[in-house]
Structure 1
């Protein structure tokens, strides 16, 4: 069987509702690798919030973070590495408009660090840390960030997103996170997961038709559209399902990815 590149989203796809990879899903992904395929994570999360899953699965493959703004081989030099950024002036401009844009908090992130506009009332776990220090305040942001995270409410998410896209249309794209929090992720213009997975596929000499991708949210649309075989989770959005070649019979809480992959690859 031809070697496949299996691109997996994390939240809502590989992870269950408790943000964990179950033993069953882990075992099936390990079997897929043992059979000669490559498993690669493609997530909107920064690396520091996805490194534990990379390690749990014992991966040695390149991965996509920040929805494609960072494509890298963790902790190693890699000739194909790509990292894009947003002008820090845009971050400070959005901060000045915080009230008008109905934002609860603003965060700027890069591979190793993050900066927020306030410390009080923000859960440190949101940034995979125990506590937020004064060194993490936005005033200390000196480099162009890879991504911005903006927390608003579901009521304002669409209008805030449209306003940002209008004001900074040549520089940014705005993505929406799934889940209970209304999080807008601001990435450099043109960035999406498919771009990152394509870099990985080319680096490995794997044809586009041999890419299998799994996802559940709006930020997986281009990825499933790009993949030779795109699979939407049963719990995925209707929009994403319209781009998929197939849909899992079970949700991310029922090891839907594992069941599908085990059958599809005849593991």
Structure 2
């Protein structure tokens, strides 16, 4: 029976230098050749995630992607969207307005571009890390041709502004959106009730795979919903403390030492008992 592995990208599948080890690459190919499925799960935009998948050779049959933290479920081989969700524009406008007043960099996405109102150091650092291009617009209203899938606030100086912003705006944002930290520098807002976990349900249903036959692995707080949703949720050895607490198991190796190959061998091919390493 086919199984499906959902893997976070940064800090999980990718090493710190944004490469993938040959051992991990071979392990993924082995599971694909055996008829299993491999899914990249990322908060990144679809264009950024697709570029990484192509570079890794993960655009072959059996490869899928959940991006924008669940707002898009994507068939990498067929190059088509399976499921998508967006944030109402009025909520996007309000987020931009509140972030600007708080002195925090804020951006969203249209097509292949990051959309921002100002050119900031945070924007440059994000663009460098994601490999995406950006456009600076005079106002967010005219910049959007359709509802975005995500809004991101960034603070690479870790001043505490993001935590304060989330607390100050929690009452109204919780009514309309999901919010979470994908890392300490990024506070992300996505469509209501949409997470990497909801993406797992969509894709398992699409492929007719029972949730009990799904495995998810990740390291950050935005990975928690998918670890709780999958039949087996595995935290990376290098995972954030909140992730370690909720996981069924923890890898022995970290993202720089072939942890994905470890997960594939133990949980896709050998059915290691859940919780054996926890």
Q: Distance in 2 between matches of 1:266 and 1:167?
A: 46
SS in 2 for 1:163: helix
Q: Which moved more, 1:212-221 or 1:106-115?
A: 106-115
Q: Please point out which of 227, 230, 238 is paired with 1:227.
A: 230
In structure 2, the CA distance between the partners of 1:20 and 1:201, relative to structure 1 (3 Å rule), is same
Q: Distance in 2 between matches of 1:151 and 1:170?
A: 22
Root-mean-square deviation (CA, aligned residues, Å) is 2.3
Aligned residue pair count: 261
Within a 5 Å distance, the mapping from 1:61-140 to structure 2 comes to 61-74=63-76, 76=78, 81-103=82-104, 105-110=105-110, 112-121=112-121, 122-123=123-124, 124-129=127-132, 132-134=134-136, 138=140, 139-140=142-143
Q: TM-score, normalised by structure 1?
A: 0.88
Aligned equivalent of 2:208: 205
Return 5+ residue gaps in structure 2 as ranges. Answer: 271-278
Equivalent pair of 1:165/1:172 in contact (CA under 8 Å)? no
Aligned equivalent of 2:169: 164
Equivalent pair of 1:110/1:145 in contact (CA under 8 Å)? yes
Q: Distance in 2 between matches of 1:114 and 1:76?
A: 25
Q: Distance in 1 between matches of 2:101 and 2:135?
A: 27
Q: How big is the shift at 1:26?
A: 0.9
In structure 2, the CA distance between the partners of 1:75 and 1:149, relative to structure 1 (3 Å rule), is farther
Q: Distance in 2 between matches of 1:258 and 1:136?
A: 47
Return 5+ residue gaps in structure 1 as ranges. Answer: none
Within a 5 Å distance, the mapping from 1:138-153 to structure 2 comes to 138=140, 139-152=142-155, 153=158
